[in-house]
Every structure is written in structure tokens, then in C-alpha cells.
Chains A and B, each alone.
Chain A
Amino acid sequence: MAATKRKRRGGLAVPAKRPRKSGKDARPPAKPRDKAEEAEEEDRNRIPGPVCKGKWKNKERILIFSSRGINFRTRHLMQDLRMLMPHSKADTKMDRKDKLFVINEVCEMKNCNKCIYFEAKKKQDLYMWLSNSPHGPSAKFLVQNIHTLAELKMTGNCLKGSRPLLSFDPAFDELPHYALLKELLIQIFSTPRYHPKSQPFVDHVFTFTVLDNRIWFRNFQIIEEDAALVEIGPRFVLNLIKIFQGSFGGPTLYENPHYQSPNM
């Protein structure tokens, strides 16, 4: 089945392929049928303009890119994130020699206000920065246990660019640093409504859970209305290192006492 792009005709039940009119076969009920047929053919020839049910107001744009020296798993994870988030933009690899605040300028050039930056060190450790670009807070994580979309054990599937439901653990409301992280995650991962590349359905859910002082991320597909779920992937675990007040710099607001550097 060839995947066809969604036709922007508004409304939901728009078939990508129209079944051929059967009026051509049955001539006797001709007259009114013919007229309807003609009208339909005209309709088909005319390309209707995009009809959005609403305006896209929440202008969030996420810049997702990485440093040099990443391995295949990280690259696939990055591609998966770009696919799941239609409000994301890609960029070329950055040299690790440059200072981090250069990223702010890159974001500004691309007109993005959030950033996910993957930094790979020694070809083994993967660090992820989540940041709000001009002034806002940023956080650095160590990423572990990465499983990508392509793994065969994850059998679910979802529309590309559909809006996710975000589910958080109650532990996110208890501590102030988790509350800040929750706000950051919500703003980054939720697809804006009426984004031109998004699909209007809500058919998958991202779960963020705090367990063992780490944040576990899972992505499930909603199959039934009675909450039957299947995992889509990707999966990863974030181990918080530090929260900074500025974007990629600034005073440290929080440092995770349970974090142990993988090099020690």
C-alpha cells in the first residue's frame, strides 16, 4: 500500500482513493446520476485549498541535532524523535570543540525556541541536553538503555506526526526540580495543535516515570478505547545530571546527588 499524504480537505473521513463511480455501469437511472457524476468529477479536478479547523497558535519549534562521534543507535534514536515530533527541525552535526553557547545562536538562526542536543563522548556515553533556547532553563541527562523504533519486539505503530498524550508519574509534582523538568518535557514533547505537519488524531501516549532516580520514557499505541496498549518505541532512560538556569550555561539550579559519572 503506497503511503499517501493526507489531503487537507478538513473533516476526518476523507478517503485517499475514491472508489470509481458505479454510475458508468448503470445507465437507466441516468439523469440525476449524471449530474451528480459531473459535479463529482469537477470536484476531483479542482484542488481544494487547505481547510484547517483552527489556527496554529502554539509556535514551538524544536531543534534536534547531535555532536560528532555518535554511534548508530543514537543516530536512529534521533531520527525516531524527529519522526515522532513534526514540530522538530534537524541540523548538521556540531563539532564538540565549539563551546555550548554557540548552540543558542544556531537555534536562533533556525528560529527554534527549544533544543534537544545529543552529545556523544568516547563513543560510548550519550548525554542529552534539553533546553529552552534564549533564556530559559536547560538540563543535562545521561541517556541509557536506548531501544529504537526499528526493534522487532515493539509491535505497535502510529500515525506519523499525530499528537501524543503525555502521562507523568505523580512523583513529578512532588519535588521542585521534577516540576521544572515536567514543564520542560511538556513544552518539548507535545505537538502543537493544528501544526501543519501534524495529524489530528491522538493515538499514542508518551509515559514519563520516575523510578530509581531516573526518568523512564516509553511510547505506547492506543488500540482500543478501553486502554489496550501496545508499545511502539523508542525507549530510553534519562539520568539527570544538572539543571542550569540559562540555556547551556548559567548558574546551576540543581545537581543530582545520585548521579555517578560513567567514567569513574
Chain B
Amino acid sequence: KGLLKPGLNVVLEGPKKAVNDVNGLKQCLAEFKRDLEWVERLDVTLGPVPEISGPQSTPQNKDQKAVDPEDDFQREMSFYRQAQAAVLAVLPRLHQLKVPTKRPTDYFAEMAKSDQQMQKIRQKLQAKQAAMEKSEKAKQLRALRKYGKKVQTEVLQKRQREKAHMMNAIKKYQKGFSDKLDFLDGDQKPVARGSKEGAKGQQMKKGPNAKRRYKNQKFGFGGKKKGSKWNTRESYDDVSSFRAKKAHGKGLKRPGKKGSNKRPGKRTREKMKSRAR
């Protein structure tokens, strides 16, 4: 017997159909609609202002790329442009109908947001801007420091290379492999002189003045002391430190003291005394 038993037939629900009573909607709209003047309603239905993108070869067709609702920036920009289109379309009409759109500067009235609120907003914007500028400056400084460091290392390395080159050249000359002094830029090349002096002379032409050089030679830069006094033919022949007047005992007249210094000695005075008697 084909009697119905529980579990024999399973109840299947059909796919849910969403109610869409188009006729009902249209009728409702017709009843509900109020024929107000446009000035009362101030509504406008327009798409967004088309954005000025690069040159488009295809003409702008109806279905422009749909705005991706997930892309926040694009979405908000499309709302902004829709509002712009509406404003641009409506303003001339409003001016024609003599509806004011600009608030005169001496018209004081209550605003939707209080002044306190606007102050808060302004402060927040300023703080944001200041923070951004600060971070920009910090970034620039960091970049500058990096660059400066790079430049500094380069200069130091260059100096090292030059010094090494100079030393090589000097050694060559010392050992007699080459007798050309081209590597020096117009600097004298005494053996006594320290290598540092030579290198320095190259870099700074003027360098320290004669007095300083003399003192440097005599007192400064430890390395010079070692080789400063040699009994060689050259040092023997070197009469640059010979002062004739000093050698002959003349010269150097002290600013004359009074004749009281010319007092003769004891013995002379006694002789004089005895003679005078």
C-alpha cells in the first residue's frame, strides 16, 4: 500500500522569491507623489562629473568602469564628483529663481557645528600638519646625514690614497730610483724635512708662515727631532744660523741703564782712593 509514512517524502522548499511588485510600486508612487515645484524640493539627479583622466581613444560610453565599493578613495571621490555635478547644474537655476546661495559676511547665525567644535577640528588639522612637517624634516636630516657620511668617507679615503701615493714617491726619490721631483708641487725636499711636511705642502701651498715653519721644525712634530741634527757636510756647510755680531761679541746693546752701572770694581776703587790721597 502506498500510504504516506513519515520520512518517506521530504519537504523541499522552493527557492525564495523576493517580492517585487512592480505594478504595485508604480501605483503607490503615483498616489504618493506630490507635485511640488522644483524650488520646494531642490533635487537633482545626475551622475558624477567625469574625471579628467589621460587621453582616451575610445569615446566615453555609458558604462564607465564601475566604482569598486571596496576602494574607499575611489568611492568617496565618486560621491564628491556627484555632488559637484549637482552643484554645478543647480547654481545657475537657483540664481535665476533668486534663491540666495552665498551667506553674506555680516550674517551671523547659528551653525550646525559649534565654534568650539570647529576650534577642535582646526587644532587637530594643525597638529597633523606640524607632525607631518616634523617627520619630513627628520627624514631629510637622516638622508642628509647619510649623504654627508658618504661624502666624508670618500674624502678620507681620497686623502689616504694621496698620502700613500706621496709616500711612495718620496721613498722612490730617497732610494734614488727617480730623481724627478714632479710629485711635489713646488715644495722643497730636504731629507730632514718630515714626510708630513711634504704632503702638507702639496695640499696647502701657503701653509704656515716662515716663523711657524721654523718653530715647527725646531719644536714640533716629534718625528722631526730625530733627524734634525746630523753632522753631515750639509749641516757643516749650513751657516744660516751664524750671527756675525753675536759671534764677535758686538751688538745687542741693552737699552742704556744709568751710569750707576759703570761703577768700577772694589780693587779699582781702592787704587783710586789711594791715588787720590
**Residue from the list B79, B100, B104, B110 in contact with A3, Cβ < 8 A:** B110
On whether the beta carbons of B19 and A179 are closer than 8 Å, the reply is: no
On whether the beta carbons of B103 and A201 are closer than 8 Å, the reply is: yes
Q: How far is the CA of A209 from the CA of B106 in the complex (A)?
A: 35
Binary A-proximity of B25-39 (CB < 8 A = 1, otherwise 0): 110110111101001
On whether the beta carbons of B86 and A160 are closer than 8 Å, the reply is: no
On whether the beta carbons of A186 and B28 are closer than 8 Å, the reply is: no
The listed residue with most A CB atoms (<10 A of its CB), out of B25, B39, B106, is B25
A190 with B82, Cβ < 8 A, contacts A58-B36, A137-B28, A137-B32 known: no
**Shortest Cβ distance from residue A191 to the other chain B in the assembled complex, whole angstroms:** 8
Residue A203, interface by CB 8 Å: yes
**Shortest Cβ distance from residue A11 to the other chain B in the assembled complex, whole angstroms:** 10
On whether the beta carbons of B32 and A132 are closer than 8 Å, the reply is: yes
Stretch touching chain A among B50-58, B118-126, B246-254, B260-268:
B118-126
On whether the beta carbons of A253 and B25 are closer than 8 Å, the reply is: yes
A254 with B99, Cβ < 8 A, contacts A6-B109, A137-B28, A169-B45 known: no
On whether the beta carbons of A255 and B82 are closer than 8 Å, the reply is: no
Binary A-proximity of B84-100 (CB < 8 A = 1, otherwise 0): 11111011001000011
A157 with B84, Cβ < 8 A, contacts A186-B43, A225-B91 known: no
User: What class of interface size applies to chain B in its complex with A?
Assistant: 35 or more
Residue A227, interface by CB 8 Å: yes
The listed residue with most B CB atoms (<10 A of its CB), out of A158, A229, A256, is A229
On whether the beta carbons of B75 and A157 are closer than 8 Å, the reply is: no
On whether the beta carbons of A253 and B19 are closer than 8 Å, the reply is: yes
On whether the beta carbons of B118 and A157 are closer than 8 Å, the reply is: yes
Interface residues of B in 115-135 (CB under 8 A from A): 115, 117-118, 120-121, 124-125
On whether the beta carbons of B83 and A207 are closer than 8 Å, the reply is: yes
Contacts of A169 in B (CB 8 A): 45, 47, 82
Contacts of B20 in A (CB 8 A): 177, 254-255
On whether the beta carbons of B102 and A4 are closer than 8 Å, the reply is: no
Stretch touching chain B among A29-37, A95-103, A121-129, A215-223:
A215-223
Q: How far is the CA of A16 from the CA of B109 in the complex (A)?
A: 8
Contacts of A183 in B (CB 8 A): 29, 32-33
On whether the beta carbons of B88 and A227 are closer than 8 Å, the reply is: yes
Residue B276, interface by CB 8 Å: no
On whether the beta carbons of B108 and A12 are closer than 8 Å, the reply is: no
Q: How far is the CA of A169 from the CA of B121 in the complex (A)?
A: 30
On whether the beta carbons of B87 and A186 are closer than 8 Å, the reply is: no
CB nearest neighbor in A for B105: A13
**Residue from the list A6, A187, A232 in contact with B34, Cβ < 8 A:** A187
Q: How far is the CA of A3 from the CA of B67 in the complex (A)?
A: 41
On whether the beta carbons of B45 and A172 are closer than 8 Å, the reply is: yes
**Shortest Cβ distance from residue A5 to the other chain B in the assembled complex, whole angstroms:** 7
Residue A94, interface by CB 8 Å: no
Contacts of B227 in A (CB 8 A): none
Residue A106, interface by CB 8 Å: no
Contacts of A184 in B (CB 8 A): 32
Q: How far is the CA of A6 from the CA of B104 in the complex (A)?
A: 13
Contacts of B87 in A (CB 8 A): 165, 167, 205, 222, 227, 229
Q: How far is the CA of A58 from the CA of B111 in the complex (A)?
A: 24
On whether the beta carbons of A251 and B24 are closer than 8 Å, the reply is: yes
CB nearest neighbor in A for B101: A202
On whether the beta carbons of B42 and A192 are closer than 8 Å, the reply is: no
On whether the beta carbons of B46 and A136 are closer than 8 Å, the reply is: no
Residue A152, interface by CB 8 Å: yes
On whether the beta carbons of A218 and B79 are closer than 8 Å, the reply is: yes
Chain B interfacial positions (CB closer than 8 Å to A): 18-22, 24-26, 28-29, 31-34, 36, 39-47, 67, 69, 75, 78-80, 82-88, 90-91, 94, 99-104, 106-115, 117-118, 120-121, 124-125
Chain A interfacial positions (CB closer than 8 Å to B): 1, 3-6, 12-17, 58, 83-84, 132, 136-137, 149-150, 152, 155, 157-161, 163-170, 172-173, 176-177, 179-180, 182-184, 186-187, 190, 192-193, 199-203, 205, 207, 209, 211-212, 216, 218, 220, 222, 225-227, 229, 232, 243, 245, 251-257
Please list 7 pairs of residues, one from A and one from B, whose beta carbons are closer than 8 Å in the complex, sorted by A's number: A150-B113, A160-B111, A165-B87, A211-B69, A227-B87, A227-B91, A257-B18
The 10 closest A-B pairs by CB, nearest first: A167-B86, A257-B18, A212-B69, A16-B108, A166-B43, A227-B84, A15-B106, A176-B25, A227-B87, A3-B110
